[in-house]
Structure 1
Amino acid sequence: MAAAVAALAASQGPGAIPPPTDNLSGDSTIGAGDATTPPGSPDGASATGDSPYYVDLPPLKPPLVPGAPTTPQLPIVTGPAEAGIPATVLAAYRRAEASVRASDPACNLPWQLLAGIGKVESGQARGGRVDANGTTLAPILGPALDGNGFALIKDTDGGAFDGDRTHDRAVGPMQFIPSTWATWGQDANGDGKKDPNNVYDAALAAGMYLCAGNRNLAIKADLDRAILSYNRSTEYLSTVVSWFDYYRRGTHTVPDGTGLLPVDRSDRPFPGRPLRPESPASPSSPVTGGTPTPHKPSQKPTEPAPTQPSKPSNPGTPTNPPKPTDPPTTDPTRPPAKPVEIPPTLRVAQLKAGTATLTAATGNAFAQTASVTAKDSAGRPVAGVSVRFELPATTDTRFPAGATTVTVTSDAQGVAKAPALRAGQKTGTFTLRATVPGRSSLAAAELKATVEARKADALARVGDTALTAAPGAGYATVTVEARLGGALAAGVDVTAVVTDSAGSTGQSADGPSFGKDGAGNPIRTKVLRTDAQGRLSIDGLVAGEKAGEYVLWLTAPGNGSVRITLTVTEPATTPPASPEPTTDPSPATDPSPTGSASASPSGSASAAPSGSPSPSA
Structure 2
Amino acid sequence: MSAHFGTRLRKGAVNTTVAALAVAALAASQAPDVTADGHGRQTAADAPSAADSGTGTGTESGATGNSPYYTDLPPLNSPNPAPSDGSSTTPAATGTNEAGIPATVLDAYKKAEAALAQAKPGCNMPWQLLAAIGNVESGQAGGGNVSADGTTVTPILGPVLNGVGFANISDTDNGAYDGDSTYDRAVGPMQFIPSTWAWAGRDGNGDGKKDPNNIYDAALAAGHYLCRYDWDMSSTSGMRSAILSYNNSTDYLNTVLSWLEYYRKGTHEVPDGSGSVPGNRSDDGTGFTPTLPSVPTAPGTPAPGKPGTPAKPSTPPKPSTPPKPSPPAPTPTETVDHLEYAGTTSLTVTAGSTSTDRVGTRAETAAGKTVAKVRIRFTIVGDTDTTFTGGETVAVIATDSKGVALAPALRAGEKTGDFTVRATVLGRTVTALDHKATVTARAADALARTGDAALTCTAGGEFATRVEVKATYKGAAAGKVAATATLVKSADDQSTNDKGPYFKDAAGNPVRTLDLRTDANGLLALPTLYADDTAGTYLLRITTTGGATLTLELTVTAATPDPTPDPTPSESASSPASTEPEPTASGS
TM-score between the two structures when normalised by the length of structure 2: 0.48
TM-score between the two structures when normalised by the length of structure 1: 0.46
- Of structures 1 and 2, the larger Rg is shown by 1
